[in-house]
Amino acid sequence: MGDEHGESWTQVIYKRKEKFFNPIRQNYGHIQALKQNLQEYSELNYVPIIVFSIDADLKVKTNAKVIYSVKLLKTIREFAAETITEQQKEEIYAKLLALNVRDKEVRTQHVEGIHKKKAEVTNQVSANICPKCGGELITRKGKYGDFKGCKNYPKCRFTITN
């Protein structure tokens, strides 16, 4: 369960609820990393698609392409316009292969960096500072109870439940 703007989603496995990072946000981060590393291919069209196993029971409010794995090929074909040559595909593949982190230590550092960033966000929120824009976080009343939201709304849409 989740929505486009939330920081995390919830999955229920055998009546046990677990939170996980919003895959739409994670996908956005991946696309930004691709754009940064493939700047020489400015003509690339990035299509964010988030795929779940057929076993998942999706309860998601979003306009993003959040689909089941059995619909992946059909969804990809909807966007099948050729925009790059075969040679460019091979060059991009080689570049991404070289960027892929296989070293355990480097991967561990990457994960530690993510945890550090998460701790920084928690500290900022505790100090009522918006981690997205640096604005002030204020308590607001919503349909499902109180939450902290950025004072710069609607420019900044950061929210977190109390």
Distances in Å between the alpha carbon of 20 and those of 11, 24, 149?
8, 11, 21
% of the chain residues with pLDDT over 70 = 97
Q: Kindly report, residue by residue over 121-133, the tens digit of the pLDDT.
A: 999 999 999 999 9
- State the pLDDT at residue 128: 96
- State the pLDDT at residue 100: 84
Q: Kindly report, residue by residue over 30-82, the tens digit of the pLDDT.
A: 999 999 999 999 888 888 999 988 887 777 777 788 889 999 999 988 887 77
Tokens found for residue 162: 């109390």
Does the predicted TM-score (pTM) go above 0.85? Answer: no
Angle at Cα 158 formed by Cα 32 and Cα 1, nearest 5°?
Answer: 80
Q: Does residue 153 carry a pLDDT above 70?
A: yes
Half-sphere exposure of 80 (CA within 13 A, CB side): 7
- State the pLDDT at residue 19: 82
CATH numbers and ranges of domains, the chain: 1-100 (no CATH), 104-162 (3.30.65)
Question: Is 131:158 a contact under the CB 8 Å cutoff?
Answer: yes
